[in-house]
Amino acid sequence: MRLFAWLNRPSTKKLCLELITRAEELGAHEDKTLFAQELVENREAGVCFELLITHMNEQHIAIDGEFYELICRLGEQMKIPPKEYVFMKELITKK
């Protein structure tokens, strides 16, 4: 039943924290990930999202398909248009 489907969705906060953890594993700078965590705790998930993808793109940090899927899920959940993060596809080089 779709009426309560939202109950099974991970929270935006949980997805942001997962994004931060994965970004760290892929090589994002610690100062960026620490600041991203602060943003999440202060209910600034959108700013956290933008900070991490901008940082990783500017630093040319390679990502894998799983990380890109996480970006897409989080972007969709926060109603961010795909055109705002589709450029991250270019960084997919890891398997």
pLDDT in tens, 50-86: 999 999 999 999 999 999 999 999 999 999 999 999 9
What's the pLDDT at 9? 55
Q: Which residues contact 77 (CB under 8 A, 6 or more apart)?
A: 9, 12, 15
- On whether the pTM is more than 0.95, the answer is no
- Per the structure block, which two tokens stand in for 81? 């248009």
DSSP string, the chain: -GGGGGGGSPPHHHHHHHHHHHHHHHT--HHHHHHHHHHHHTT-HHHHHHHHHHHHHHTT--EEHHHHHHHHHHHHHTT--GGGTGGGGGGEEE-
Q: Is the pLDDT of residue 3 over 70?
A: no
